[in-house]
Amino acid sequence: MPLLESWIADRTRNFDSSGIRKMFDLADKLDDPINLSIGQPDFDVPDPIKSKMIQAVEDGFNGYALTQGIPTLRGKLQEAIDLEYGDPDRKVFVCSGTSGGLFLSALAMINPGDEVIFFDPYFVMYPALVELVGGVPIKLSSYPDFQIDLEALEQAITDRTKMIIVNSPSNPTGVCYSQDVIQQVAELADRKGICLVSDEIYSRFSMDNEHLSPASYNKKTVVIDGFSKTYAMTGWRVAYVHGPSKIIDTMIKIQQYTFVCAPHPAQVASVYAMDFDITPYIDTYRQRRDFMVEELRNYYEFVKPGGAFYLFPKLPWGTGQQFVERAIDNNLMVIPGSIFSDRDTHFRISYAVADEMLERGIKVLKQIAKP
């Protein structure tokens, strides 16, 4: 084995780099593409929040913050969490993005050989993260309606099952779990003594019903949420995790030796962001969702998304690679579903784009619906 190759840790060989990046490389030559692949809001950070960020920098909030988060932000988050859950042992800390929160959760709780259950299709990070810390990913199909099969979940649990990860609203499907499913998964995890991690980064993008967390039914649930999607602050890397104090204290300890802290000036601005009304943005996304669903329902099979800003249609013909290549030939960028799944039967559309671009994308999607 060549010397440099021998230096690379074995844990990195279990997974590849994101297939989304490969798709972007494929589309790199496009001129002014119709980009329906982006997984972040198309609106900019609202001006008042940007002003607070700039002011924080100018006021000198540029050094390290406390590892657990600045007191003003942490206190405001804790007050909201206490009001919602009323659990004296539910503690919050600020982390560097929800990806950071997921990574810290894995480091804090997963031992080599522990099994972690999540649902296919899934956020691309889940299997790589589990393997990175030596865990065993257990993927349970949620096809065709993208709800959780409670019977299949219970059958998949073994004496090695350490964690279940849920994500609602979901990336890539946009589907929200029903109240009944959320409650039953929460109670099952509690009954079996399994940690339930709820990835709720799209919680504010619940289009049809108020967002419901499994923490409402299982007080041991670890919840990961953040500011990235809600306020278009994806590059600012501010998120938070709340759960049982013993777990949170362990995650804070690990953050001290990894991420250290979330960016200080961004935390200062996030205090203000918590009071900013994003209802108009959510209303716009709901209108785009409804427009897209109405325009495409006679061309593609899909489950109407209840949240986030994605649609996950079934491929009308061919493989994901073939379909995406046809889309790229028509200057359109979408994501093959195989990046998020063990199946190659669907593709992901993001409607977090300007209305004009969405209309152009829908026109192309109609054109390529037949081989």
Distance CA 148, CA 12 (A): 30
In the 3-class helix/strand/coil scheme, how is the chain assigned residue by residue? Answer: CCHHHHHCCHHHHHCCCCHHHHHHHHCCCCCCCEECCCCCCCCCCCHHHHHHHHHHHHCCCCCCCCCCCCHHHHHHHHHHHHHHHCCCCEEEEEECHHHHHHHHHHHHHCCCCCEEEEEECCCCHHHHHHHHCCCEEEEEECCCCCCCCHHHHHHHCCCCEEEEEEECCCCCCCCCCCHHHHHHHHHHHHHHCCEEEEECCCHHHECCCCCCCHHHCCCCCEEEEECCCCCCCCCCCCEEEEEEHHHHHHHHHHHHCCCCCCCHHHHHHHHHHCCCCCHHHHHHHHHHHHHHHHHHCCCCCCCCCCECCEECCECCCCCHHHHHHHHHHCCEECEEHHHCCCCCCEEEEECCCCHHHHHHHHHHHHHCCCC
Closest CA to 105 of 232, 211, 259: 259
What confidence tier does 63 reach under pLDDT thresholds 50, 70, 90? very high
What confidence tier does 5 reach under pLDDT thresholds 50, 70, 90? confident
Distance CA 27, CA 261 (A): 35
Average pLDDT over the chain, rounded to an integer: 94
Closest CA to 291 of 283, 169, 39: 283
Cβ 147 vs Cβ 304: under 8 Å: no
Burial class (CB in 10 A: 0-12, 13-18, 19+), 293: middle
The per-residue pLDDT for 255 is 96
Q: Please provide residue 370's backbone torsions phi and psi, each rounded to the nearest 5 degrees.
A: -115, 140
Domains within the chain, CATH numbers bracketed: 3-45+278-367 (3.90.1150.10), 63-273 (3.40.640.10)
The set of residues, in sequence order, having a beta carbon less than 8 Å from that of 350 and lying 6+ positions away, is: 36, 37, 38, 39, 309, 310
Closest CA to 168 of 198, 128, 137, 141: 198
Q: Is the pLDDT of residue 221 over 80?
A: yes
Percent of the chain exceeding pLDDT 70 equals: 96
- Give pLDDT tens digits for 147-203: 999 999 999 999 999 999 999 999 999 999 999 999 999 999 999 999 999 999 999
- Give pLDDT tens digits for 231-269: 999 999 999 999 999 999 999 999 999 999 999 999 999
Q: Kindly report the pTM of this predicted structure.
A: 0.94
The per-residue pLDDT for 337 is 95
